[in-house]
Amino acid sequence: MRVHIPKNKRVVQTYAKSLHNSVDIAKFKEDLKAAKNIAFLSGAGISSESGIPTFRGRGGYWRRYSAASLATPEAFKENPSLVWEFYHHRREVAAKAQPNKGHIAIAQYEAKHGKAKIITVVTQNVDSLHARAGTKNLVELHGSLFKTRCTKCNDVLVNTDNPICEALANKWAPGKDVVDSDIPVKSLPHCKKANCNGLLRPHIVWFGESLETPVFERADEAMSKCDVCLIIGTSSLVYPAAGFGPLAAARGAIVAEFNIEKTPATRSFTYYFGGPCAVTLPRVLND
Protein backbone atom coordinates (compact mmCIF):
# COMPACT_ATOMS: atom_id res chain seq x y z
CA MET A 1 0.00 0.00 0.00
CA ARG A 2 1.35 3.42 -0.95
CA VAL A 3 1.38 6.07 1.75
CA HIS A 4 0.50 9.59 0.64
CA ILE A 5 3.08 12.13 1.77
CA PRO A 6 1.69 15.71 1.88
CA LYS A 7 3.60 18.27 -0.19
CA ASN A 8 3.22 21.15 2.24
CA LYS A 9 6.53 21.49 4.10
CA ARG A 10 4.99 22.14 7.53
CA VAL A 11 2.60 19.22 7.11
CA VAL A 12 5.48 16.98 5.99
CA GLN A 13 7.44 17.92 9.10
CA THR A 14 4.39 17.21 11.31
CA TYR A 15 3.89 13.87 9.53
CA ALA A 16 7.54 12.92 10.02
CA LYS A 17 7.40 13.86 13.70
CA SER A 18 4.20 11.85 14.14
CA LEU A 19 5.80 8.85 12.44
CA HIS A 20 8.90 9.18 14.63
CA ASN A 21 6.76 9.33 17.75
CA SER A 22 4.82 6.25 16.63
CA VAL A 23 8.08 4.31 16.30
CA ASP A 24 9.28 5.57 19.67
CA ILE A 25 5.94 4.72 21.29
CA ALA A 26 6.17 1.13 20.06
CA LYS A 27 9.72 0.82 21.37
CA PHE A 28 8.87 2.43 24.70
CA LYS A 29 5.87 0.15 25.18
CA GLU A 30 8.24 -2.81 24.86
CA ASP A 31 10.53 -1.23 27.46
CA LEU A 32 7.58 -0.78 29.82
CA LYS A 33 6.49 -4.36 29.27
CA ALA A 34 9.93 -5.66 30.23
CA ALA A 35 10.38 -3.35 33.22
CA LYS A 36 9.92 -4.63 36.77
CA ASN A 37 10.25 -1.28 38.57
CA ILE A 38 8.68 1.87 37.11
CA ALA A 39 8.77 5.39 38.53
CA PHE A 40 6.72 8.39 37.44
CA LEU A 41 7.84 11.93 38.30
CA SER A 42 5.23 14.60 37.60
CA GLY A 43 5.34 18.37 37.73
CA ALA A 44 3.14 21.40 37.12
CA GLY A 45 2.73 20.68 33.41
CA ILE A 46 0.32 17.80 33.89
CA SER A 47 -1.85 19.77 36.32
CA SER A 48 -1.89 22.89 34.14
CA GLU A 49 -3.86 20.79 31.64
CA SER A 50 -6.54 20.54 34.33
CA GLY A 51 -6.58 24.31 34.78
CA ILE A 52 -4.23 24.57 37.75
CA PRO A 53 -2.06 27.73 37.48
CA THR A 54 1.66 27.04 37.48
CA PHE A 55 2.53 30.29 39.32
CA ARG A 56 5.75 30.42 37.35
CA GLY A 57 6.91 32.92 34.78
CA ARG A 58 5.20 36.19 33.85
CA GLY A 59 1.74 35.08 34.96
CA GLY A 60 2.81 33.97 38.42
CA TYR A 61 0.98 36.66 40.40
CA TRP A 62 -1.92 36.62 42.83
CA ARG A 63 -3.36 40.05 43.55
CA ARG A 64 -0.26 42.25 43.50
CA TYR A 65 2.02 39.60 44.91
CA SER A 66 4.43 37.22 43.31
CA ALA A 67 3.13 33.79 44.29
CA ALA A 68 6.66 32.77 45.25
CA SER A 69 6.88 35.64 47.74
CA LEU A 70 3.88 34.26 49.65
CA ALA A 71 5.12 30.67 49.68
CA THR A 72 7.73 31.21 52.37
CA PRO A 73 7.86 30.70 56.15
CA GLU A 74 8.85 34.37 56.49
CA ALA A 75 5.69 35.52 54.69
CA PHE A 76 3.54 33.33 56.93
CA LYS A 77 5.23 34.65 60.07
CA GLU A 78 4.77 38.26 58.95
CA ASN A 79 1.21 37.97 57.62
CA PRO A 80 -0.45 34.57 58.17
CA SER A 81 -3.87 35.93 57.21
CA LEU A 82 -2.72 37.02 53.76
CA VAL A 83 -0.93 33.72 53.16
CA TRP A 84 -4.01 31.77 54.22
CA GLU A 85 -6.14 33.81 51.80
CA PHE A 86 -3.72 32.88 49.01
CA TYR A 87 -3.86 29.19 49.93
CA HIS A 88 -7.63 29.31 50.30
CA HIS A 89 -7.67 30.53 46.69
CA ARG A 90 -5.40 27.66 45.64
CA ARG A 91 -7.56 25.14 47.50
CA GLU A 92 -10.66 26.50 45.75
CA VAL A 93 -9.05 26.18 42.31
CA ALA A 94 -7.72 22.67 42.99
CA ALA A 95 -11.03 21.46 44.45
CA LYS A 96 -12.90 22.52 41.31
CA ALA A 97 -10.34 21.01 38.92
CA GLN A 98 -10.67 17.47 37.63
CA PRO A 99 -7.96 14.88 36.94
CA ASN A 100 -7.26 14.85 33.22
CA LYS A 101 -6.61 11.90 30.92
CA GLY A 102 -2.93 11.95 31.83
CA HIS A 103 -3.63 11.52 35.56
CA ILE A 104 -6.19 8.84 34.77
CA ALA A 105 -3.86 6.93 32.42
CA ILE A 106 -1.22 6.72 35.16
CA ALA A 107 -3.74 5.53 37.76
CA GLN A 108 -5.18 2.93 35.39
CA TYR A 109 -1.72 1.68 34.49
CA GLU A 110 -0.89 1.25 38.18
CA ALA A 111 -4.19 -0.55 38.83
CA LYS A 112 -3.58 -2.95 35.94
CA HIS A 113 0.12 -3.69 36.45
CA GLY A 114 0.70 -2.88 40.12
CA LYS A 115 0.68 -6.51 41.24
CA ALA A 116 3.31 -7.62 38.73
CA LYS A 117 5.50 -4.51 38.84
CA ILE A 118 6.68 -2.00 41.43
CA ILE A 119 5.06 1.29 40.38
CA THR A 120 5.64 4.54 42.23
CA VAL A 121 4.28 7.98 41.37
CA VAL A 122 6.32 10.88 42.73
CA THR A 123 4.75 14.29 42.25
CA GLN A 124 5.92 17.84 42.85
CA ASN A 125 2.29 18.98 42.66
CA VAL A 126 0.21 19.79 45.73
CA ASP A 127 -3.26 19.63 44.15
CA SER A 128 -4.06 15.95 44.98
CA LEU A 129 -5.20 15.26 41.39
CA HIS A 130 -3.15 12.06 41.21
CA ALA A 131 -4.85 10.75 44.34
CA ARG A 132 -8.27 11.74 43.05
CA ALA A 133 -7.53 9.93 39.78
CA GLY A 134 -6.95 6.75 41.80
CA THR A 135 -3.17 6.51 42.18
CA LYS A 136 -2.31 4.52 45.32
CA ASN A 137 1.48 4.40 45.67
CA LEU A 138 1.93 8.17 45.67
CA VAL A 139 4.73 10.32 47.05
CA GLU A 140 3.78 14.00 47.38
CA LEU A 141 7.20 15.65 47.51
CA HIS A 142 5.98 19.14 48.34
CA GLY A 143 2.98 18.27 50.50
CA SER A 144 -0.70 18.87 49.80
CA LEU A 145 -3.12 21.79 49.72
CA PHE A 146 -5.57 19.55 51.53
CA LYS A 147 -3.38 18.87 54.56
CA THR A 148 -2.58 21.16 57.46
CA ARG A 149 0.32 21.21 59.94
CA CYS A 150 0.15 22.70 63.40
CA THR A 151 2.86 25.27 64.07
CA LYS A 152 2.84 24.28 67.74
CA CYS A 153 2.50 20.48 67.95
CA ASN A 154 3.39 19.64 64.29
CA ASP A 155 0.33 17.43 63.90
CA VAL A 156 -0.46 16.82 60.20
CA LEU A 157 -4.07 16.17 59.19
CA VAL A 158 -6.08 15.86 55.99
CA ASN A 159 -8.53 18.74 55.71
CA THR A 160 -10.91 19.16 52.78
CA ASP A 161 -13.28 21.61 54.49
CA ASN A 162 -14.45 24.40 52.22
CA PRO A 163 -13.82 26.97 53.49
CA ILE A 164 -11.26 25.65 55.94
CA CYS A 165 -12.54 28.22 58.45
CA GLU A 166 -15.51 30.57 58.40
CA ALA A 167 -13.35 33.71 58.25
CA LEU A 168 -11.94 32.63 54.86
CA ALA A 169 -15.33 32.31 53.18
CA ASN A 170 -15.38 34.45 50.03
CA LYS A 171 -11.81 35.61 50.69
CA TRP A 172 -10.15 33.84 47.78
CA ALA A 173 -10.63 36.52 45.08
CA PRO A 174 -7.35 37.33 43.32
CA GLY A 175 -8.40 40.87 42.30
CA LYS A 176 -5.46 43.29 42.11
CA ASP A 177 -7.40 46.01 43.94
CA VAL A 178 -7.28 43.92 47.13
CA VAL A 179 -3.90 44.36 48.79
CA ASP A 180 -3.94 43.10 52.36
CA SER A 181 -5.97 40.82 54.62
CA ASP A 182 -8.19 42.01 57.44
CA ILE A 183 -8.73 38.60 59.06
CA PRO A 184 -7.66 38.48 62.74
CA VAL A 185 -5.15 35.69 63.41
CA LYS A 186 -7.44 34.25 66.08
CA SER A 187 -10.02 33.59 63.33
CA LEU A 188 -7.63 31.58 61.15
CA PRO A 189 -7.52 27.75 61.28
CA HIS A 190 -6.23 26.46 64.62
CA CYS A 191 -5.35 23.03 65.95
CA LYS A 192 -8.22 21.15 67.55
CA LYS A 193 -6.09 18.85 69.68
CA ALA A 194 -6.69 19.14 73.40
CA ASN A 195 -4.47 21.72 75.11
CA CYS A 196 -2.90 22.87 71.84
CA ASN A 197 -4.87 25.43 69.80
CA GLY A 198 -1.76 26.20 67.74
CA LEU A 199 -2.06 28.14 64.49
CA LEU A 200 -2.34 25.81 61.49
CA ARG A 201 -0.39 26.33 58.27
CA PRO A 202 -0.72 24.63 54.89
CA HIS A 203 1.26 21.39 54.82
CA ILE A 204 3.37 22.63 51.92
CA VAL A 205 7.13 22.68 51.51
CA TRP A 206 7.77 26.38 51.06
CA PHE A 207 10.75 28.10 49.47
CA GLY A 208 13.67 27.93 51.88
CA GLU A 209 12.39 24.75 53.57
CA SER A 210 13.73 21.22 53.19
CA LEU A 211 11.76 18.22 52.04
CA GLU A 212 10.64 15.93 54.84
CA THR A 213 13.28 13.21 55.22
CA PRO A 214 10.90 10.19 55.01
CA VAL A 215 9.22 11.66 51.92
CA PHE A 216 12.53 12.36 50.18
CA GLU A 217 13.81 8.87 51.03
CA ARG A 218 10.74 7.24 49.47
CA ALA A 219 11.16 9.30 46.30
CA ASP A 220 14.90 8.70 46.16
CA GLU A 221 14.45 4.94 46.56
CA ALA A 222 11.91 4.83 43.73
CA MET A 223 14.12 6.84 41.41
CA SER A 224 17.34 5.01 42.27
CA LYS A 225 15.88 1.53 41.73
CA CYS A 226 13.57 1.96 38.73
CA ASP A 227 14.25 0.27 35.37
CA VAL A 228 12.10 2.86 33.59
CA CYS A 229 11.38 6.44 34.62
CA LEU A 230 8.72 8.72 33.14
CA ILE A 231 9.34 12.46 33.60
CA ILE A 232 6.01 14.23 33.12
CA GLY A 233 5.28 17.93 32.78
CA THR A 234 8.23 19.17 34.78
CA SER A 235 10.70 21.90 33.88
CA SER A 236 13.66 19.99 35.38
CA LEU A 237 14.73 23.23 37.08
CA VAL A 238 13.60 22.78 40.70
CA TYR A 239 15.90 20.64 42.84
CA PRO A 240 16.12 18.05 44.22
CA ALA A 241 13.43 16.69 41.86
CA ALA A 242 15.23 18.07 38.81
CA GLY A 243 18.15 15.73 39.48
CA PHE A 244 16.14 12.52 39.62
CA GLY A 245 15.76 11.97 35.86
CA PRO A 246 19.38 12.71 34.84
CA LEU A 247 20.69 10.55 37.70
CA ALA A 248 18.44 7.66 36.65
CA ALA A 249 19.63 8.03 33.06
CA ALA A 250 23.28 8.16 34.17
CA ARG A 251 23.01 4.80 35.92
CA GLY A 252 21.44 3.19 32.84
CA ALA A 253 17.71 3.43 33.46
CA ILE A 254 15.43 4.13 30.51
CA VAL A 255 14.04 7.65 30.93
CA ALA A 256 11.19 9.10 28.87
CA GLU A 257 10.19 12.76 29.05
CA PHE A 258 6.62 13.91 28.39
CA ASN A 259 6.44 17.68 27.95
CA ILE A 260 5.07 20.43 25.77
CA GLU A 261 8.63 21.62 25.19
CA LYS A 262 12.08 20.15 25.66
CA THR A 263 13.96 21.01 28.85
CA PRO A 264 17.63 21.36 29.80
CA ALA A 265 17.63 17.68 30.78
CA THR A 266 16.02 16.28 27.61
CA ARG A 267 19.29 15.45 25.88
CA SER A 268 20.22 13.00 28.64
CA PHE A 269 17.00 10.99 28.29
CA THR A 270 16.19 7.98 26.12
CA TYR A 271 12.88 9.28 24.76
CA TYR A 272 11.08 12.58 24.35
CA PHE A 273 7.33 12.71 23.68
CA GLY A 274 6.22 16.24 22.86
CA GLY A 275 2.69 17.47 23.36
CA PRO A 276 0.02 17.61 26.08
CA CYS A 277 0.42 14.91 28.72
CA ALA A 278 -3.31 14.22 28.50
CA VAL A 279 -2.70 13.11 24.91
CA THR A 280 0.72 11.46 25.01
CA LEU A 281 0.41 9.46 28.23
CA PRO A 282 -2.75 7.54 27.23
CA ARG A 283 -1.11 6.65 23.90
CA VAL A 284 1.90 5.18 25.69
CA LEU A 285 0.27 3.62 28.76
CA ASN A 286 -2.89 2.15 27.26
CA ASP A 287 -2.36 -1.38 25.92
Annotated binding site for substrate: 87, 90
Binding-site positions for Zn(2+) read 150, 153, 191, 196
> Which entry of 88, 103, 130, 142 is annotated as an active-site residue?
142
CA pair distance 39, 201, nearest whole angstrom: 30
CA dist 52 to 44, 68, 105, 208, 215, Å? 8, 16, 18, 23, 23
**Is residue 89 flagged as an active site residue?**
no
Angle, helices 213-225/241-250, rounded to nearest 10 degrees: 30
Residues in contact with 237: Cβ distance below 8 Å, sequence separation at least 6, in sequence order:
263, 264
> Please, is 213 exposed, middle or buried when counting C-beta atoms within 10 Å of its C-beta (0-12, 13-18, 19+)?
exposed
Contact 204, 145 (CB under 8 A): yes
Report the length, in residues, of the chain.
287
- State residue 143 phi and psi, 5-degree precision: 90, -160
Q: Are 153 and 196 in contact (CB under 8 A)?
A: yes
Residues that constitute the known binding site: 87, 90, 124-127, 150, 153, 191, 196, 233-235, 259-261, 277
User: Any idea which residues carry the catalytic annotation?
Assistant: 142
